């Protein structure tokens, strides 16, 4: 087998693993019950309006795609995981939102060059393992003069810290895979997009989360519903000592953030215009 063929097979295996991970738990419940405000905010900040051709990359169950469609925009939601797309279709039906749902890889988007006016991603593209490939695709499918708009968790914020707490218990990442919270670092995103964008506006904001009354409630919810957390616990299920240690680490992290039932989760809101060149 050639080196190129081996690389292709390895990438397919990695994407299959990612697809399976996001099918674990109940991410749609995370989106609707914990972070419902992120998608609508991204839609507002990106300037979506009726008739705009919009692509939501790594759309999950449509946290941004559905609000975008409700503005009257022409929206396509693309995601690697069919189970999330199906959940999104059901949610869209309940809200009478009309949009298209398509399975696809953020690193190899199944669309033509310059096909969309606005390309969005709400805590989605950050989980594509190869950041430059994903960034190149965001740029490629956005028309010159169009807009790229992203919301991603910062490394220093609560979710970034949660991933850091889980890292010692997770299997080692494959060669070339980069940590998701890097997408919440402005300098990293600027380096990925380079001079292909202009008019960059990058702001750190905090999402107010009031879904959990205590640290143990937070931990148990994420153990049950959030694919990456479910996967880490599955990897250490045969080691009670590691399970107990991770239980403590996540509860301690949440305890340090919770105050009167409120948490503040920091994210980066990044918008930029696709350069004409």
What's the pLDDT score for residue 5? 64
Architecture of the domain whose range is 3-208+264-274? 3-Layer(aba) Sandwich (3.40)
Domain boundaries, the chain: 3-208+264-274
What's the pLDDT score for residue 3? 56
The string of DSSP codes covering the chain is --HHHHHHHHHHHHHHHHHHHHHSS-HHHHHHHTSTTHHHHHHHHHT--TT-EEEEET-TTTTTHHHHHHTT-EEEEEES-HHHHHHHHHHHHHTT---EEEE-BTTB-SS-TT-EEEEEEES-GGGSS-HHHHHHHHHHHEEEEEEEEEEEE-SSSHHHHHHHHHGGGSPPPPTT---GGGGG-HHHHHHHHGGGEEEEEEEEEEEEE---SSHHHHHHHHHHH-HHHHHHHHHTTT-HHHHHHHHHHHHHHHHTT-BTTBEEEEEEEEEEEEP--
pLDDT above 90 (res 7) = no
pLDDT digits (tens, 9 = 90+) for 226-238: 999 999 999 999 9
pLDDT above 90 (res 114) = yes
pLDDT above 70 (res 145) = yes
pLDDT digits (tens, 9 = 90+) for 169-217: 999 988 889 999 999 999 999 999 999 999 999 999 999 999 999 999 9
What's the pLDDT score for residue 8? 74
């Amino acid at each position: 087998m050639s080196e190129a063929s081996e690389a292709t097979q390895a990438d397919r295996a990695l994407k299959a693993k990612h697809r399976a991970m996001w099918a674990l738990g109940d991410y749609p419940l995370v989106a609707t019950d914990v972070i419902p405000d992120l998608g609508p905010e991204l839609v507002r900040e990106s300037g979506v309006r009726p008739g705009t051709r919009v692509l939501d990359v790594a759309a999950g169950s449509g946290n941004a795609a559905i609000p975008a469609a409700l503005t009257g925009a022409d929206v396509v939601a693309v995601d690697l995981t069919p189970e999330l797309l199906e959940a999104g279709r059901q949610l869209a039906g309940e809200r009478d939102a009309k949009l298209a749902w398509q399975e696809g890889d953020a690193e190899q988007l199944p669309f033509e060059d310059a096909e969309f006016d606005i390309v969005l991603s709400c805590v989605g593209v950050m989980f594509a393992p190869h950041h430059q490939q994903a960034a190149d695709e965001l740029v490629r499918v956005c028309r010159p003069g169009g807009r790229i708009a992203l919301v991603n968790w910062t490394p220093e914020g609560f979710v970034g810290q949660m991933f850091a707490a889980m890292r010692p218990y997770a299997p080692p990442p494959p060669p070339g895979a980069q940590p998701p919270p890097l997408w919440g670092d402005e300098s990293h995103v600027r380096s990925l997009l380079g001079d292909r964008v202009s008019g960059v506006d990058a702001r750190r904001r905090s999402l107010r989360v009031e879904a959990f009354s205590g640290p143990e409630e937070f931990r148990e919810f994420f153990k049950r519903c959030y694919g990456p957390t479910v996967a880490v616990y599955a990897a250490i299920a045969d080691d009670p000592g590691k399970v107990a240690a991770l239980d403590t680490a996540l509860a301690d992290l949440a305890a340090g953030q919770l105050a009167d039932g409120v948490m503040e989760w920091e994210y980066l809101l990044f918008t930029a215009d696709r350069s004409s060149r």
